[in-house]
Structure 1
């Protein structure tokens, strides 16, 4: 497979938006591990710009990347071995060493927990139960990594010699207008018929609504990576998809503005909101992939480092956000000043985590990076193509 630089840029952008989204969670009225003193209802309006599609897009681009990795692997066993090392090690490290401050801050600021962080880590975090309703230990934002690993295991049996035939079927289904309406129909079926008014749990076991959406998104990304017809169709339809995305977001935002706190008075308005949200989800993803295919499929000197930095950024970013806001909150400087400090502090913390971690050989696999020897071999192999 040729490297698709456009999807690299889309992956970088998607994870970058995720960081800003989680910063926003501090200031919106929705539940989060730490909150500013006076969360505001209006913050939901800009948050809803990406809320509908950000996670589904991450699974699509992860499926695309999985196909590229499979193409370079020595069969299914090599593919699974790579995924196990690149996902399970960071997940375990994250649960043990990265996530605990989030749970401690949540207990201190929202449940009156009186013990220090060292005490919490030694006595309470590994209780394998709940404390004031907070599950301990936990994976918090790293649920995405756990789901991605499980979906990889589920994907493996499909990677049989039948793959060319399956790929041809994918090309026929999604090589035209079906690339817009088939995924949209599936999302509406899940959210409006099979699981109406059911929220995701991110606990893996009781999360059927998420699995039907995200596993299929990963499969779509996997198929898309091998489908020139589908990518060409998305490039061809990106303008109407973008128009549809903007129009549906306008409906979603209008409902959020008219009914703060989503206190929607009638079932008809609620149904309109949910339908618009699903339309926004797939229309946004289709438009972004079409733009990546048409305009972003070119390399840049910054791309290799940014592509490598994405996973470490993801691992550490939410802990940085939660801890920095915990320090800021007692200062009573107001949400504007908090936001102005929180964003650059989070970016700086993520860069420090990545730049320091990449230099420490034993730490690299724990933060989602290849071991130095493997990274060097890949850089040498990619050099002629990048040139």
Structure 2
């Protein structure tokens, strides 16, 4: 494939930063909604389900699209496919191993203590039970939890490397440009997602176990490959701009149907409506992604002084944010504060904790690879010391 460098797309950088900011608020919301989570507030907020459903359909798919785009840029600068795979393996698996061993354990301990009656302290849990490679009260340990995204991103990178080696990418890129230059940009991916969510897995759930997560792979791997192909196509980027308002309309129609169902049901969603609900989820999912990419290309593709720091901080934020949320929620349980106060404290504590984790970790050369940052070049290390 072509080794022509891919220019930095500042609009997609802003999308990535915004998507992770939404993710932090979304995971704080998980403490309050009736969905399963590692820490639950006694102040449930059923109403919070509705705004969370506004982003639930597309937030992760968008991140895989943006990650695919970034992978194309990284590949053009890497010393061949092997070098690209080595670089991505170090940047993804080292933080993943650190996260599973050190960052994630407090989440599992809080869940066991608060929801399954686990009596041991955290030190006992980490030393005796966490690395048992088995289940405690139905929780498989050691746990990936939110770091499943990092593992999937690495697996999709391997798939991408095999595809780049095994196919004539120039022809594939030309076919991609030709097919998605028109309304098929909206129709074909949406139809594929309707099959997944409305037909094959209506109201299905992702397991985040890579060996038993067909629904997620069918959705996220194509999104990742779409982003990779998009990075080499000014034609399809222009098509996203052209169809951004149609995508926004699709998103509103899909979400409107979901809202109607959620507001109109009592005692659970009837099974006959599962396929329609899943189809609406799919339409909202792809319409939002096209709209956001179109607006990013049209209006947000410009740099700002804070962009570089924010784009670097995103990965460390992602690694640590959920542990901060779970631990702070656990500490707040005895205080019996009002739900609004709990939510505000969780948001402020999470943002402050994420910034501290990033700003401290980025200054310590030994920690940088562990939190997903490149090692400092020697002059920068000398200056930092």
What TM bracket, shorter-length normalisation? Answer: over 0.9
Q: Residue 263 of structure 2 is aligned with which of 243, 257, 263?
A: 257
Q: For the residues of structure 2 that align with 1:185 and 1:236, how far apart are their CA atoms?
A: 20
Q: For the residues of structure 2 that align with 1:360 and 1:123, how far apart are their CA atoms?
A: 30
Q: Which residue of 1 aligns with 2:120?
A: 115
Change (3 A) 1:305 1:254: same
Alignment of 1:152-171 (within 5 A): 152-160=157-165, 162-171=168-177
Q: Which residue of 2 aligns with 1:382?
A: none
Alignment of 1:94-243 (within 5 A): 94-160=99-165, 162-243=168-249
Q: For the residues of structure 2 that align with 1:50 and 1:34, how far apart are their CA atoms?
A: 21
Q: For the residues of structure 2 that align with 1:321 and 1:215, how far apart are their CA atoms?
A: 28
Q: Which residue of 2 aligns with 1:384?
A: none
Deviation, 1:196, is 3.3
Deviation, 1:198, is 2.9
Q: Residue 40 of structure 1 is aligned with which of 29, 34, 45?
A: 45
Q: Which residue of 1 aligns with 2:367?
A: 363
Q: Residue 93 of structure 1 is aligned with which of 87, 90, 98?
A: 98
Alignment of 1:259-274 (within 5 A): 259=265, 263-265=268-270, 267=272, 269-274=273-278
For residues 167-192 of structure 1, the C-alpha deviation after alignment (integer angstroms, 9 at most, x for no partner) is 11110111111111111011112222
Q: Which residue of 2 aligns with 1:338?
A: 342
Q: Residue 62 of structure 1 is aligned with which of 36, 49, 67?
A: 67
Q: For the residues of structure 1 that align with 2:365 and 2:264, how far apart are their CA atoms?
A: 53
For residues 54-77 of structure 1, the C-alpha deviation after alignment (integer angstroms, 9 at most, x for no partner) is 111111111011111111111101
* Contact preservation (8 Å) 1:41, 1:260: no
The alignment partner of 2:69 has SS state of: helix
Q: Which residue of 2 aligns with 1:380?
A: none
Deviation, 1:250, is 1.4
Deviation, 1:248, is 1.5
Q: How many residues align?
A: 375
Residue 53 (structure 1) aligned with residue 80 (structure 2): no
TM-score w.r.t. length of structure 1: 0.94
Q: For the residues of structure 1 that align with 2:103 and 2:227, how far apart are their CA atoms?
A: 29
Q: For the residues of structure 2 that align with 1:179 and 1:260, how far apart are their CA atoms?
A: 37
Deviation, 1:243, is 1.8
Q: For the residues of structure 1 that align with 2:281 and 2:216, how far apart are their CA atoms?
A: 15
Deviation, 1:373, is 1.2
Q: What runs of 5+ residues in structure 1 fail to find an aligned partner?
A: 378-387
Change (3 A) 1:374 1:145: farther
* Contact preservation (8 Å) 2:202, 2:278: no
The alignment partner of 2:40 has SS state of: coil
Q: What runs of 5+ residues in structure 2 fail to find an aligned partner?
A: 1-5
Pairwise CA RMSD? 1.5
Q: For the residues of structure 1 that align with 2:66 and 2:318, how far apart are their CA atoms?
A: 15
Q: For the residues of structure 2 that align with 1:254 and 1:33, how far apart are their CA atoms?
A: 29
* Contact preservation (8 Å) 1:4, 1:297: yes
* Contact preservation (8 Å) 1:251, 1:273: yes
Change (3 A) 1:266 1:371: closer
Deviation, 1:374, is 8.6
Residue 320 (structure 1) aligned with residue 321 (structure 2): no
